[in-house]
Amino acid sequence: MTTVSSDADAAAAAACGGLKSDDIRNSKTPTPSPTLEGHIAGSFAYSSAEPESTEGRDNKVETVGSNPTGAKMAQGAPANAGNNAFKDKEKPQAVRTANITAARAVADAIRTSLGPRGMDKMIQTGKGETIITNDGNTMLRDMSVMHPSAKMLVDLANAQDIEAGDGTTSVVVIAGALLGAAERLLSKGLHPTTISESFQRASAHAVQTLESISTPINLAERQTLLKAASTSLSSKIVSQEPKLAPMAVDAVLKTINPQNAENVDLRNVRILKKPGGVIDDSELIDGLVLNQQAVKSAGGPTRIEKARIGLIQFQLSPPKPDMENQIIVNDYRQMDKILKEERTYLLNMAKKIKKAKCNVLLIQKSILRDAVNDLSLHFLYKLGILVVKDIERDEVEFICKSTGCKPIADIDSFTEDKLGSADLVEEVSSLGARYTRVSGVKLPNPASAPKTVSIVARGANPLILDEAERSLHDAMCVIRCLVKKRALLPGGGAGEMAVSNALAQAATTKAYPDSICWKAYADALEVVPVTLAENAGLNSIRVVTEMRARHAKGESNVGVSIKRGGVGVMGEEGKGGQPGGSAAAGEGVMQPLLVSTSAIELASETVKMILRIDDIALSR
C-alpha cells in the first residue's frame, strides 16, 4: 500500500512563497505513486520542486504482500487493477487537502488586518518599493503567492474589489473559514460535490437573510452616507481624519444624479497626490487639477480669466523630414534663410492658435522629441497664451470630459469649436506644491455630459499618500455600492451573525446532508465577529457567545462594539431589521448590503471551485 503524507506547514509556507526550492525538496510532500499520475500528484504542490528520478520513486514505494515488484506491476499489470484504484482514491484526498491548506494559509496571513483595530502590512516589492497598507486586495496582489489554489484567493479579493470595492479582507477570511468547515466535513466522509452544492444553497439562503434585515436608504440622507463611508475608513491609517469621509461622499454625489443614477463611474473622480502638509489639508475641487505647472520660462502668464482651453497632440517645433537628411550650409545667408523659415513657420502656428480665440494651451507629451521649443513659447507669450506642456496620454480623456475640449492632432484642425471654456485657469502654490487648477468649467451640453471632480490629496510622505488614495477609493466604492443597491446593514459582524443564526435554525428543518452542511456553513460565518473581537483585544468567546444569545432573541443589529469593549447595538435600539427599525443611528457602524452579499456569494463560489479539484496536472 502506498503511504501518503502531507506537511501542512510546508504547504502553507510554500503557498505564500516562503520556501526555497531546496527547502521544499527536503520537506515532507505527498509520496508519489509509481504511475505517471502519481508522479504528477507527488509534485503538484510546489511548482519550483524538481521531479525526482524514477529510482528514487521506486525506492519510496512500500508494498504489502508477497510480490516485491508490486510497484512495477501497478503500471501496467491488470492483475493489480484493484490496488491501483485504491491508490487513485488516495491521491484526490491528498490534492484536496493540500489545496485547502494553501488557501487557508493565505486567509490566515491577512486575517489580522480585519476590522478597525486590524494591523497593517509592510510589503517590499521586487523593485525595492515599500508598501504599507491595510487593504486586502493590495496586500494579496503584491504578495508572492505560488500555489495555484492560493492564487484563487488572490483573484477572489480582486473580484470583490471590482464588484463592491470594499470587503476584500472579509471575503478572503470567510472563504478560509468555509474551506476549514469543508475540510472537517470531508473527514466525516461527505463527498466534495455534496458539500459544494449544499454550500451554494446555504449561500442563497444567506443572501435572502441579509436582504431581509437590511434597511432601505435614500441618497438624499447625507448623514447615512457619511456613516457608511466612515465605517469603511475606520480600519485605515487615515481613520482619524474627519475630512475624508465627507470628501468621498461629496465627490461621488457631484458626479451623478441621485434621483435616477444606477451606477457610478469612479473614473470621473481624479485624485492628485502632492507631498507636503497633512491629510487634513486635502481638498475637493469642483473642476480640473493638473499636476503640471504653467510654463514660465518665456515669461508667459500664469493666470487666465474667461479661459478658452485647447488641447493639442502635435508639436510646436520646426518640422522634420521622415527620412534622415543632411543639410550643408555654405554661408551665413543660407543660415539666416533657414532660421527665418523656422520663425515664420512657428509664428504662423501661434497666430492660428490665437485666431481660434484660444488663450490656454495644453500640449500632450511627446516621446519622440520636445513638444514645444523656446521660440514657440516666446511667440505664445507675446500673444498672451498660457501654456501647460507634458500632458500625459492617460490624462487626455479626463481633461476632455472635464473641460469639454476635443484633442487636436493637426494645426489645420485647430478651430474654435474644439475649445473648452472655464472661468479661471491659474497656477496654485500651496504648502510647497505647485499645480494648475481649472475652475468654473462651462460644458457645452451640461445635461448629457458626465461631471467630473478632482481631489488634491496631501500627506507627509508618499507612503501616507498612497494609503490615503486607497482609503478614499474604498470609501467612494462604498457610496457606489449604495447607489447600485440602496440598502444598509449593521456592521461589526452583526450581519454575519444574523445569517449564522438563521442558517443554524434552518439546518434543523433540512434533511441530511444539508442539515450538517448548513450548520457547518453557519459556524464558519462566525469567523468575522470572532476575528473582529480578537483583533480588538477582546475575549472572543465571551463576545461571540453574547452576540449569539442576543441574535437568538431577535436583536439582529447587535455586533462587536470597539467603543464599549464588547457587544453593542450598531444602529438605534429597535432598528436595523427589527420591527419599526431604521438605519440612521446608534454607533453609526453601517455597511452597504452589496458588500456583504457579494462577499458571501463570491466566497462560496471560490470554495466550490477548490473543493471540486481532485488533481493538478503539469503542463508541457
Structural domains in the chain, CATH included, are 8-108 (no CATH), 288-444 (3.50.7.10)
Q: For residue 3, what pLDDT is reported?
A: 44
135 is catalytic: yes
Give the chain's radius of gyration (CA, Å).
32
Residue 140 grid coordinates: 494579496
Instruction: Write the CA distances from 307 to 303, 387, 406, 418, 425, integer angstroms.
Output: 9, 12, 15, 13, 7
281 is catalytic: no
Q: What angle do CA 251, 252, 256 make, to 5 degrees?
A: 120
Mean pLDDT (10-residue bins), the chain, 620 residues: 44 46 40 38 38 39 38 40 54 89 94 91 87 89 89 94 91 96 93 94 95 90 89 85 90 87 89 90 90 82 90 84 71 83 90 91 82 86 90 91 90 90 90 88 75 91 90 92 91 92 93 92 94 93 93 90 86 44 57 93 95 85
Q: For residue 13, what pLDDT is reported?
A: 46
Dist. CA 403–CA 398, nearest whole Å:
9
Catalytic residue among 161, 250, 466, 474: 474
Residue 107 grid coordinates: 486567509
Catalytic residue among 29, 35, 133, 168: 168
Q: For residue 27, what pLDDT is reported?
A: 41
Dist. CA 582–CA 217, nearest whole Å:
9
CB 71 within 8 A of CB 80: no
DSSP for residue 1: -
Q: Render 18-43 in DSSP notation, one character per residue.
A: -S-HHHHHHS--PPPPSSHHHHHHHT
In this prediction the pTM is 0.77
Q: At what angle do helices 514-525 and 168-187 cross, to 10 degrees?
A: 140
Catalytic residue among 135, 161, 166, 466: 135
Catalytic residue among 2, 169, 452, 531: 169
Q: For residue 87, what pLDDT is reported?
A: 54
DSSP for residue 259: T
Neighbours of 561 (CB within 10 A): 21
344 is catalytic: no
Instruction: Write the CA distances from 501 to 31, 158, 201, 265, 525, integer angstroms.
Output: 42, 29, 16, 37, 10
Q: For residue 596, what pLDDT is reported?
A: 94
Q: For every residue of 567-618, which 3-state class applies, written as one string?
A: EEECCCCCCCCCCCCCCCCCCCCEEEHHHHHHHHHHHHHHHHHHHCCCCCCC
